[in-house]
Amino acid sequence: MKGELFIIMGVSGSGKTTVGRLLASEMNMPFFDADDFHPKSNLDKMKSGLALDDNDRRPWLELLSEELHNWSNSEGAVLACSALKESYREIFQSKDVKINWIVLRGSYDLVRQRMTERKDHFFSAELLQSQFDAMEWPDYGIHVPIEHQPAEMVSRIKTIFRFRHECRLGLIGLGVMGSQLSRNMLNKDFKLSVYNRYTEQEKDVIDEFIKSCNNDQSLNGFTDLGEFVQSISKPRTIILMVSAGKAVDLVLNELSGLLDAGDLIIDGGNSFFKDTIRRQKNLEESQIGFVGMGISGGSEGALKGPSMMPGGNKGHIIEILPVLEMIAARDSQGNPCCSYIGPDGSGHFVKMVHNGIEYAEMQLIAEMYSCLASKYSNEEISSLFSKWSGSGNSSFLLDISSDILRKTNRQGQYWIDLISDVAGSKGTGNWTVQLAAELGCTVSMIGSAVEFRMLSAMKETRIMLSTQVEKPGDDFEIEDSVLLTAYRTARIINHHQGFEMLRMASETYNWNLNLSELARIWTNGCIIRSELMRNCIDGLKKGAILNDIDILQTVKDSEPALKTAVIEAIKKRISIPGLSSAYNYWIALTTESLPTNLVQAQRDYFGGHGLYLSDDRDDNLVHINWKQ
């Protein structure tokens, strides 16, 4: 492949040479190891256990830069080089050559283990920490986790390279999310075809989008679906970014007749998971793959890197996963916030529950605002939210709430004071509550948030009845620290309920969901990213969030604050369904004997449903003749 340059970078022990040789062999290109270009003085210094400094490296880097220029004018090359700092990488590109950066990433412990197992290599494992300390991880390039086998790592690299050099990707629907996701893919150097329907209201969408992308040569735009499909190389991958429901079926009915066996459709909207399963089965007959993929992050996340949750046939997803990982957000360790979720409609199901958790998170912040508004100004509440975020309670939703509260219009009026209190929703919260009931699990906090939005729509009734009750004084007498503790505790309960629903769904539908991995991919890019989400990862490895000893102790220690917040809010007639449902759930969850024995007796009395006796170890269903 004439002129192409690949630099396989990473710390020593990450597999640069192994991966580089294999990639060069499969692409019929020469391979070089940067270590072979070191002068003898550098080699002697490293053998003696001393780390090189930038003065040592400069002549070596300039020599490699010259070689890269020469290779780019011939048959190209694959070079293995640590390339620790951005300044080093700038030297490599100083000759105006195009480099495909391959970034090998792994944990310190994994790399050190590999280093100690290596023999006959001049780099000592004791110098590894210095490389990790010096490494400036780039936000560009193809990032490849070293946990995979070398052959799989090379396969991922080649997949991304193919998608960059020929148009294999298409996207349908240039709404807010679709247009931003398209820009994301173009920013990652993928070739892309986009389609948007032609109507009077949307006739200029394609032209305007192409202009907004500065007529990027990697982009083709269409208003004819057939031409759009033909512009994409086989096997095609087409991402649907259209409204959930009938719109998806309408597009599929037209699109499926234009595709070939082996093509793949990815539904990136908020479709109902049972619809996703139905569509998968329908398209199987034509040997067309269909994946339901949850995408979270809003407009900004779609552009800069969202959290992505693909579910369906594992073989289909593994083939496209390297591309999805390129456009996804990255966690604190540099790993993509995108993983294979599970079979069937699991990708859309977990996104639905994600949105349910989001509903309750937003509700809790609104309740904090309501409580604080009785004694603080918008600016003061904004500052307090910022302070909370900086004290171990950071979250995307809390941060944007702080921004919202201080935003004013040209007249100096706070926007928050001008916005109607009738809240909207798009249905995923409702689905979460309905399916929780089907599964037999409790998501009381999500339910309270959904119902509160419904209650907000009863505006005329609320106005009328508000005149019929006596209003207490405005002062809300509770310390800010107590309210923060209550908020933090309720959030833990919300996350516990959401992940318990996912656990029960996994068992019911045989999806084998990795809850800890789900929490990891929700630590960045998505709307519910937060410090708490990061803290939930270890607890979920043990089965449930409250199985983490530290988190459980936090809830136990915080119960008095939660109770105080609920009592004081009710005294002031402040509606706090999120806080109160969290506390009621916690009380019930930690109560050995509940009064539901009476409920069972009532059911047996009027309906003859039968019941179980607490001292019957065989769990025999019995019926009591209550009238005899």
Tell me which residues are annotated as active site. Answer: 351, 358
Report residue 287 CA to chain centroid gap.
Answer: 29
Asked if 321 and 328 touch (Cβ cutoff 8 Å), the reply is no
Tokens of 27: 């692409």
3-state secondary structure 282-341: HHHCCCCEEEEEEEECHHHHHHHCCEEEEECCHHHHHHHHHHHHHHCCECCCCCECECCC
Tokens of 607: 């309906």
Report residue 302 CA to chain centroid gap.
Answer: 11
Ordered alpha helix ranges (H), 174-263? 176-187, 205-212, 225-230, 246-255
Nearest to 357 by CA among 533, 220, 476, 510: 533
∠ CA(526), CA(522), CA(247), 5° rounding?
50
What are the distances in angstroms from CA 594 to CA 587, 599, 600, 614, 621?
10, 10, 11, 12, 19
**Cα dihedral angle (151, 155, 157, 162), rounded to 10 degrees?**
160
∠ CA(556), CA(561), CA(565), 5° rounding?
135
What are the distances in angstroms from CA 502 to CA 277, 347, 356, 441, 570?
17, 11, 11, 10, 32
Nearest to 131 by CA among 68, 102, 88: 88
- Lookup result for tokens 């604080």: 372
Strand 307-311 versus strand 77-80 pairing type:
unpaired
- Lookup result for tokens 């001292």: 615
Asked if 104 and 146 touch (Cβ cutoff 8 Å), the reply is yes
Sheet harboring 169-172: ordered strands across?
Answer: 219-222, 192-195, 169-172, 237-240, 264-267, 289-296, 307-311
Asked if 545 and 492 touch (Cβ cutoff 8 Å), the reply is yes
Q: Using only C-alpha atoms, what is the Rg of the chain?
A: 29
The CA distance from 561 to 485, in Å, is 6
**Cα dihedral angle (518, 333, 547, 312), rounded to 10 degrees?**
20
* DSSP helix/strand/coil, 61: helix
> Could you tell me if residue 252 is left (phi over 0), alpha (psi between -120 and 50 degrees) or otherwise beta?
alpha
The CA distance from 144 to 133, in Å, is 20
Query: Count of CB atoms within 10 A of residue 121's CB?
Result: 12
Q: In sequence order, what are the beta bridge partners of 143?
A: 103
Query: What kind and span of H or E run contains 6?
Result: strand 5-9
The CA distance from 165 to 212, in Å, is 22
Tokens of 158: 């080649």
The DSSP symbol for 342 reads: B
